[in-house]
Amino acid sequence: MPKIQFDIENTIEIKKSKFITYLHRTSDEEEAKEYIRQIKKMHPNATHHCTAMIIGSIMRSNDDGEPSQTAGHPMLNVLMQKEMQDILVVVVRYFGGIKLGTGGLVRAYSSSVSEALDKSVLVEETMFDEYEIEFNYSLIGKLDHYFATHGIHISLKDYAENVIYHYLSTEDISKDLKEISGGVIEPKWINKQSMEKVI
């Protein structure tokens, strides 16, 4: 399930109303509530501070004075459609004097969240197998090239009598490594690790 890598702030203006969207990554509901308090402190004169969150199995939204179901719920809908996880959205609205109507509000709050998500870097947690290989210095060039071109992450490099690498992979590449090393390299499985990958 995707998460945002970094917090994002984005502003859109619709019929003179300003919608400032804050996307915040959090896995803790109490921390999310504290973040909402901070945003309210930053914008004490805003007309509304509408919120939506998905944290684990918790799904909540709040219209904060907007007509029922026109703000928090559409915001939550966008998060659910994108299958987001561990995220809090706060949309701060400064009313510009022109009423948007029910449909207009739903569109405004939905698009403010969609646009902020489009500007975000999304990551997903992937399970990798960690392996250790030991090899002769003469193979460094070939192996580094192989790992780089296949996008395989080397988590440790140790240069002693021989070279020791730890690498993370989602698939078994032992056949390739044997081929490169003329049958010398025998990857040793160490454990499973989870790592975030940009999607």
Which CATH class name applies to 3-120? Answer: alpha beta
111 vs 164: CA distance, rounded Å? 50
Burial of 158 (0-12, 13-18, 19+ CB in 10 A): exposed
For 31, 43, 49, 95, 145, the CA distances from 20, given in Å and listed in that order, are 20, 10, 9, 12, 45
7 vs 89: CA distance, rounded Å? 10
pLDDT in tens, 98-140: 999 999 999 999 999 999 999 999 999 888 999 999 999 999 9
Asked whether residue 199 carries a pLDDT value surpassing 90, the answer given is no
- Give bridge partners of residue 134 from the DSSP assignment: 164
Annotate the chain with three-state secondary structure: CCEECCCEEEEEEECCEEEEEEEEECCCHHHHHHHHHHHHHHCCCCCEEEEEEEECCEEEEECCCCCCCCCHHHHHHHHHHCCCCCEEEEEEEECCCCCCHHHHHHHHHHHHHHHHHHCCCEEEEEEEEEEEEEECHHHHHHHHHHHHHCCCEEEEEEECCCEEEEEEECCCCHHHHHHHCCCCCCCEEEEEEEEEEEC
Predicted local distance difference test score (pLDDT) of residue 183: 93
Asked whether residue 195 carries a pLDDT value surpassing 90, the answer given is no
Q: Spell out the domain ranges in the chain.
A: 3-120, 126-194
Predicted local distance difference test score (pLDDT) of residue 147: 96
For residue 45 the two structure tokens come to 């004169």
Predicted local distance difference test score (pLDDT) of residue 10: 98
Q: What is the mean pLDDT of residues 83-102?
A: 96
pTM, full prediction = 0.76
Asked whether residue 186 carries a pLDDT value surpassing 90, the answer given is yes
In contact, 92 and 155? CB cutoff 8 Å? no
84 vs 185: CA distance, rounded Å? 41
Q: What is the mean pLDDT of residues 66-82?
A: 97
193 vs 93: CA distance, rounded Å? 42
State what percent of residues in the chain have pLDDT above 90: 92
Q: Specify the fold of 126-194.
A: Alpha-Beta Plaits (3.30.70)
113 vs 52: CA distance, rounded Å? 10
Predicted local distance difference test score (pLDDT) of residue 110: 98
Predicted local distance difference test score (pLDDT) of residue 94: 98
Question: CB under 8 Å to 187, separation ≥6 — which residues?
Answer: 131, 132, 133, 173, 174, 177
